[in-house]
A and B are shown apart, each in its own frame.
Chain A
Amino acid sequence: SQQGEEDPQALSIQEGENATMNCSYKTSINNLQWYRQNSGRGLVHLILIRSNEREKHSGRLRVTLDTSKKSSSLLITASRAADTASYFCATTGRSGGSYIPTFGRGTSLIVHP
């Protein structure tokens, strides 16, 4: 079952601009993760934010989490053509002895040089 939903589905910007993607979810979470997928490749983990955290940074990435609104945002500052990819949020569910991330459908980002 899908938990996170990204918005917008597609985003097209110029190099140097900031890109903001949002993720909304329905039930309480343990943590939320963001992944990137380049065309034809697997997903690469970008950042994890725990439910008791509000903001996290990693290089040009900034993630916020608002548990009262059940939403998160990923901001990429000063975007580059190499940032062109699909971005997915994943929230944790629980099954068996481990926690299982549930992925949204993704935001497709195109950065024009």
Chain B
Amino acid sequence: DVKVTQSSRYLVKRTGEKVFLECVQDMDHENMFWYRQDPGLGLRLIYFSYDVKMKEKGDIPEGYSVSREKKERFSLILESASTNQTSMYLCASSLGGGYSNQPQHFGDGTRLSIL
């Protein structure tokens, strides 16, 4: 089974801090994704990557950056955390190479609170 592991289930940080959320997948997937999930808004795509060192903006990239130095690891960075970034963050991976009929595999999420 594919395993997507997010480094923390719960995280509390202060306004203005630089925050790193880490995600690791063990199935050699090309594609990796970061979403945030808020009540009533569903999942919104922040960034995704379809290869090492490649990244593309999703729907809500402002205030975030990402890093993918190795195929299995995709990091989300909050450059200067703000209270409106309090949310559940979900990482996902999928097979890539142009395949469109591949499901996404999700981690259990990181519930981030910015005080």
Contacts and interface: CB of A to CB of B under 8 A. Distances in A.
Interface of A: 1-2, 30-31, 33, 35, 40-45, 48, 50, 88, 90, 92, 94-106
Contacts of A102: 45
Interface of B: 4, 30-31, 33, 35, 40-43, 45, 48, 50-51, 54, 56, 58-59, 90, 92, 94, 96, 98-101, 103-109, 111
A100 B30 contact: no
Contact of A42 (B90, B94, B99): B90
Secondary structure class of chain A's binding surface, majority of residues: strand
A49 to B, nearest CB: 10
A112 B104 CA distance: 29
Nearest 5 Cβ contacts at the A-B interface: A42-B106, A99-B100, A45-B103, A105-B42, A103-B43
A43 B90 contact: yes
Interface of B is mostly: loop
B90 A97 contact: no
A88 B37 CA distance: 12
Contact of A31 (B4, B41, B54, B100): B100
Contacts of A45: 103-105
B42 A104 contact: yes
A98 B31 contact: yes
Contacts of A2: 42
B4 A42 contact: yes
B56 A1 contact: no
A100 to B, nearest CB: 6
Nearest to A50: B101
A107 to B, nearest CB: 11
B104 A43 contact: yes
Contacts of A95: 48, 56
